[in-house]
Amino acid sequence: GESDPEGDLEGIITKTAGRGGITLIPAFAVGRAQMLLYVVHKLMEEGRIPQMPVYLNSPMAIKATESFCRYHKEHKLSREQCTLIDQKTTYVRTVDESIELDAKRYPCVIVSASGMASGGRVLHHLKTLLPNPRNSIVFAGFQAPGTRGDAMVNGAESVKIHGEYWPVKADVYSLDSMSAHGDYQEILTWLEQGSLKPEKVYVTHGEAVASDIMRKRITEKFGWPAEVPELFQEVEI
């Protein structure tokens, strides 16, 4: 059925806060993080989740949020939405602030960069939050096979971070519907309607992983050979 990321987040954050836990949302720096922040603040404003601090911990995502708001007309967020995000979100800029955030023990929502939990500050949060069953980790988007995110979504009992194994006691959720590749359906529909018979399809847009999924979908659906070229790879056409 249709998934409802807002409803899902409402349930997860409310339940987590109710037991004194922290909700961590590892998100890709640009675009996804802003959308998630907006949804969280909207839920709070509508009284659907309790009032609590919201942190954005990713220098790159903070810059992106600021430019989103400066040029909001070119993006999907309105000025009101940007203002809401800006006024209500605590930006965690320095490493010291990030470490301090790790010591928090009361309910809050942390949006941190690196959507597949493959690097960045999110790893420190995972080490702190994973061992405690009160907390929740919400992956918003596709988790590539072999990544920590994928392992967690598929029920791994522990994950390796910085050379050590950390027990996964926190609740782990996946909001697939928030995946940025919602537009892949439109691309497939467009390809279907054309009378194209390409010898080969190159997928050059998007994250490596998302592109790889797109490549698989094109091959499965149309039987065309497709590949995701490497950076600076040259091909004869």
* Residue closest to 166 by CA, chosen among 213, 132, 135: 132
Determine the Cα–Cα distance for residues 57 and 68; give it in Å rounded to an integer: 16
Largest CA distance in the chain: 59
Topology of domain 5-178, per CATH? Rossmann fold (3.40.50)
Q: Where are the domains of the chain?
A: 5-178, 181-227
**Do residues 226 and 188 lie in contact, with contact meaning Cβ atoms separated by under 8 Å?**
no
- Are the C-beta atoms of residues 117 and 111 closer than 8 Å to each other? no
Whether this prediction's pTM lies above 0.85 is answered by no
52 token code pair: 């609590």
CA 189/CA 166 separation, integer angstroms: 43
pLDDT for 121 equals 75
DSSP classification of residue 159:
E
The full DSSP string for 90-122 is: EE--SHHHHHHHHT--S--EEEEE-TTS-SSTH
**pLDDT tens track for 35-50:** 888 899 999 999 999 9
pLDDT in tens, 130-175: 999 999 999 887 777 788 888 999 999 999 999 999 999 999 998 8
For residues 98-116, one letter each, b for 16 or more C-beta atoms within 10 angstroms of the residue's C-beta and e for the rest, the string is beebeeeeebbbbbbbbbb
User: What pLDDT was estimated at residue 1?
Assistant: 41
Q: Token pair for residue 116? A: 């597949």
Q: Which residues of the chain have pLDDT under 70?
A: 1-3, 28-31, 59-62, 64-65, 68-77, 113-120, 176-186, 205-210, 231-232
- The pLDDT value recorded for residue 92 is 84
> Which burial class, exposed, middle or buried, applies to 91 when counting CB atoms under 10 A from its CB (0-12, 13-18, 19+)?
middle
